[in-house]
Amino acid sequence: MGMANPWQHSRSGSIADDIDFEIKGQELQFVEIELDPGESAVAEAGAMVWKDAAVGMTTVFGDGSGDQGGGFMGKLLGAGKRLVTGESLFTTVFTHNGGGKARVAFASPTPGAILPIKLDSVGGTLICQKDAFLAAARGVSIGVEFQRRIMTGLFGGEGFIMQRLDGDGWVFVQMGGTVVERTLAPGEQLHVDTGCLAAYTPSVDFDLVGAGGVKSMLFGGEGAFFARLTGPGKVWIQSLPFSRLAGRMMQAAMGRGQSRGEGSILGELGDFIGNNR
């Protein structure tokens, strides 16, 4: 049984539903949310692990935040923003329809950490990777953030279109591997691989910079560009973005090294020797 994560929360006043929660586990975490009657949590489709019977499920257009306005067209616009970031048009709203307390649990689909962030503690907005959002208190708005610079759009890969989470309530974002939080002073710069940049606050200036000369791009194994982040503000870095993990798995699946052990020192040279005996 995994040791409980120290992230626990007791309620205080806010516009969004102020849910109680506890994050459990280490490398494969899930967040357990406790709802009072009438309170709701919003999550990506397929994120639920279990729920008490008193918690009802409703599929809605967009994020269910209730502040989109404009009736059906407003909801459609909100859903369209999610579609742009590669998510489904729909989210699932979990509402406690009974009495007393009820719980619902959500899990990240990849190894890593679930990070709880109270949006009003970071100025009301968080910008994160396209697939970072896992769940939130009802009232949090899930939008899209377009990077301003043309260079970012042309070469940024993961960094071009990001999710924008607005509100004052709790959001739960999923990050791969180990997560590090950095607070940048005004003018302080940090260079991060675009995939490893998990989230940042809007006060941080984002730009892309070339990683180096032609040799380093061709033979160094790194990307051609990295994110240059300039303070002030907070930055969250993930050590194992899913895109990197998936890329390595694809390389292994398509490689020729089926006959040798995974940890072979000789590698491709071993294959060459073995095939020419």
Choose among 47, 58, 172, 51: nearest CA to 106: 47
Query: How many domains are there within the chain?
Result: 1
pLDDT on residue 91 = 82
Domain assignment of residue 273, yes or no: no
Domain assignment of residue 277, yes or no: no
pLDDT on residue 129 = 87
Domain assignment of residue 65, yes or no: yes
pLDDT digits (tens, 9 = 90+) for 46-91: 889 999 999 999 987 665 665 444 455 455 555 455 554 555 567 8
Say which range, 135-149, 186-200, 209-223, 225-239, has the weakest mean pLDDT: 209-223
Domain assignment of residue 271, yes or no: no
Going from the C-alpha of 269 to that of each of 137, 186, 248, the distances in angstroms are: 54, 50, 20
Secondary structure class of 181 (helix, strand, coil): strand
Domain assignment of residue 6, yes or no: no
Secondary structure class of 256 (helix, strand, coil): coil
What is the domain-level CATH number for residue 107?
3.60.160.10
pLDDT on residue 36 = 93
Q: What is the pTM of this model?
A: 0.72
Domain range for 72: 20-244
Amino acid (one-letter) located at 108:
S
Average pLDDT taken over every residue of the chain: 75
Domain assignment of residue 257, yes or no: no
Domain assignment of residue 276, yes or no: no
Give the DSSP letter string of 221-239. Answer: -S-SEEEEEESSEEEEEES
Domain assignment of residue 253, yes or no: no
pLDDT on residue 165 = 92
